[in-house]
């Protein structure tokens, strides 16, 4: 096999895994099959597994698939980062955009090797926060970040654009014979049946864009300096047996291999290798004009890191700083005035654990939001405090919780949203509807409006009427049906709020007490 073969194979594997990742994102919608592969990517992260287990105070066995990455890493090094990571593939695909800017900023960026210890600090802060019950690992974990971004930002953008183009072409006489069948075939397969939009998606997209744009400072800057999963795999793989070797006699010190390395793992003019950083991309193998480089299995101890290179280890001062920052962040993140409110508009998905447990288990992957058939679930920013960022909430004005739907629990990778049977779903209370008399049409305008009662899905109707005499806007005395809510029957599905004909804020809204009577906790 020729030297370029391995580099080409890696690129093909990277593309294949990325396409499989996209296919799973697209397929995460109604209907889904229990036990499907929809959530496999976030469950491959050992970083998420450790952080979630620390926050929950128990082993979360949903992350056992992470061993399929972690165990081979002990022998092969950080192969996952170079071959399988969907975020790494996205960074590589867009890296060329930043080549010119990176060359222009290289002098101002400082030594690229000096950034390498940063990721260990990020990993340490993430795990120390989790130990204090603050689960924020999913915000910056590469697999959770990738799933969340593609599911709630990039796929909806593509969906809207494709529908606009194909729909417009289908309405054009010259193109409709070709476009209309294609549009019909793609709806429900590659494209969603319903229009998708997510609140706060711009923040998710901005974080993703920042990860990609960081390559202006160094190739794969995120992977070298920030990625907590990369840090964990670097620790696991630094003593792996698959090693880059160089024939010193054949090497001309041309540094072509150094320039080709996307992780800045090559030192000593091509002779040295920092194996904790090498992702087995084999670009150096292809770049070497002398054929002096090979990758071989070796049990020799050591990391072969150049003694002239800055250390990738944290200094004592950095370690103390990390512990101090984490100690300050734990109480700071927990300070949340919203939790002291008697009623909250923060409606969690059906089957969600109580707020504290839910926060510990949720990894912010966005799978539940993508799966929701009514587009009812949306990412939170700071409505539940800093520790709740990107967790899901139900926004009834945009979508309601279908009576028989249990998809969010089916696709939740950690059990933060428990799987419910359809019978169990009927008993699950996520909130209670509250009527605002200053906006409700019967009270505000003195005329009937029966919408909320008509759409209420409970078999015994949790919204009912009292007939009373009232004064209309014209001054007449009329008999009006005033709605009221049977709180003991209401499940908080939100369809009444969604269908309320009052413009702007609905006259009936779903609110969640801290411990609603009959709630599934």
Residue extents of the structural domains in the chain: 3-297, 429-521
Average pLDDT over residues 415-419: 94
Provide the pLDDT for residue 490.
Answer: 94
pLDDT band at 517 (very low <50, low <70, confident <90, very high): very low
Q: What is the pLDDT of residue 349?
A: 96
Best mean pLDDT range from 292-301, 304-313, 440-449: 440-449
Per-residue confidence (pLDDT) for residue 515, from 0 to 100: 44
- Compute the distance between CA of residue 283 and CA of residue 3 in angstroms, rounded to an integer: 9
Number of C-beta neighbours around residue 408 at 10 A: 28
Of 23-32, 266-275, 319-328, 363-372, highest mean pLDDT: 363-372
Burial of 197 by CB count in 10 Å (0-12 exposed, 13-18 middle, 19+ buried)?
middle
Pick the CATH number of 429-521 from 3.40.250.10, 3.40.109.40, 3.40.50.300, 3.30.70.20: 3.30.70.20
Measuring CA to CA, which residue among 6, 24, 19, 20 is closest to residue 367?
24
pTM beyond 0.85, yes or no: yes
**Tens-place pLDDT, residues 461-471:** 999 999 988 77
pLDDT at 459: 87
Instruction: Tell me phi and psi for residue 435, to 5 degrees.
Output: -95, 130
Q: Pick from 238, 234, 237, 240: which is nearest to 299 by CA?
A: 240
With cut-offs at 50, 70 and 90, classify the pLDDT of residue 2. Answer: low
Span 219-247, pLDDT tens digits? 899 999 999 999 999 999 888 888 899 99
Query: Which two tokens mark 3?
Result: 């030297």
* Residue 311 scores a pLDDT above 60: no
pLDDT of 342 reads 45
**Is the pLDDT score of 472 beyond 80?**
no
The answer on pLDDT for 302 being more than 70 is no
* pLDDT tens digits for range 82-118: 999 999 999 999 988 877 776 665 544 445 677 888 9
Assess contact for 480 and 442: CB atoms under 8 A: yes
pLDDT at 3: 62
CB 448 within 8 A of CB 389: no
pLDDT in tens, 26-74: 989 877 765 568 899 999 999 999 999 999 999 999 999 999 999 999 9
What band does 339 get if pLDDT is binned at 50, 70 and 90? Answer: low
What is the chain's mean pLDDT, rounded? 87
State mean pLDDT over 188-209: 91
**Which is it for strands 508-513 and 343-344: parallel, antiparallel or unpaired?**
antiparallel
């Amino acid at each position: 096999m020729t030297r370029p073969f391995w580099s080409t194979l890696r690129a093909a594997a990277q593309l294949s895994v990325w396409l499989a990742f996209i296919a799973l994102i697209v397929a995460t919608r109604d209907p889904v099959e229990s036990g499907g592969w929809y959530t496999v990517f976030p469950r491959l992260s050992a970083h998420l597994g450790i952080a979630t287990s620390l926050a929950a105070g128990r082993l979360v066995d949903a992350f056992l698939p992470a061993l399929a990455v972690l165990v081979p890493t002990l022998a092969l090094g950080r192969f996952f980062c170079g071959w399988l990571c969907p975020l790494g593939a996205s960074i590589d695909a867009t890296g060329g955009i930043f080549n010119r800017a990176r060359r222009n900023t290289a002098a101002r960026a400082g030594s690229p090797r000096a950034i390498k210890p940063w990721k260990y600090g990020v990993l340490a802060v993430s795990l120390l926060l989790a130990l204090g019950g603050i689960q924020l690992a999913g915000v910056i974990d590469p697999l959770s970040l990738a799933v969340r971004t593609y599911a709630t930002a990039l796929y909806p953008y593509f969906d809207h654009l494709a529908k606009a183009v194909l729909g417009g072409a289908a309405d054009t006489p010259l193109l409709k014979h070709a476009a209309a069948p294609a549009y019909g075939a793609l709806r429900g397969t590659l494209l969603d049946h319903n229009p998708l939009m997510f609140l706060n998606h711009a923040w998710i997209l901005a974080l993703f864009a920042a990860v990609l744009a960081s390559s202006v400072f160094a190739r794969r800057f995120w992977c070298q300096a920030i990625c907590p999963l990369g840090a964990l795999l670097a620790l696991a793989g630094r003593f792996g047996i698959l090693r880059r070797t160089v024939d010193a006699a054949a090497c001309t010190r041309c540094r072509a291999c150094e320039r080709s390395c996307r992780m800045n793992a090559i030192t000593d003019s091509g002779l040295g290798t920092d194996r904790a950083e090498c992702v087995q991309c084999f670009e150096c193998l292809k770049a070497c004009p002398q054929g002096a480089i090979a990758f071989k299995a070796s049990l020799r101890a050591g990391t072969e890191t150049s003694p002239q290179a800055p250390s990738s280890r944290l200094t004592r001062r950095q370690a103390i700083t990390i512990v101090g920052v984490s100690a300050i962040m734990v109480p700071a993140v927990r300070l949340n005035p919203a939790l002291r409110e008697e009623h909250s508009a923060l409606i969690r998905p059906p089957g969600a654990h109580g707020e504290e447990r839910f926060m510990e288990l949720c990894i912010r992957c966005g799978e539940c939001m993508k799966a929701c058939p009514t587009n009812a679930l949306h990412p939170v920013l700071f409505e539940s405090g800093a520790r709740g960022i990107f967790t899901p909430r139900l926004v009834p004005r945009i979508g309601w919780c279908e009576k028989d739907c249990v998809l969010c629990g089916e696709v939740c990778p950690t059990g933060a949203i428990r799987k419910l049977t359809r019978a169990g779903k009927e008993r699950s209370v996520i909130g209670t509807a509250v009527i605002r008399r200053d906006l409700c049409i019967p009270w505000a305008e003195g005329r009937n409006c029966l919408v909320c009662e008509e759409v209420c899905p409970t078999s015994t109707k949790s919204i009912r009427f009292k007939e009373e005499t009232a004064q209309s806007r014209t001054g007449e005395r009329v008999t009006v049906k005033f709605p009221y809510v049977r709180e003991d029957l209401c499940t908080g599905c939100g369809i009444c709020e969604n269908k309320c004909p009052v413009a702007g804020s609905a006259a009936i809204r779903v609110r969640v007490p801290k411990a609603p009577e009959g709630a599934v906790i």
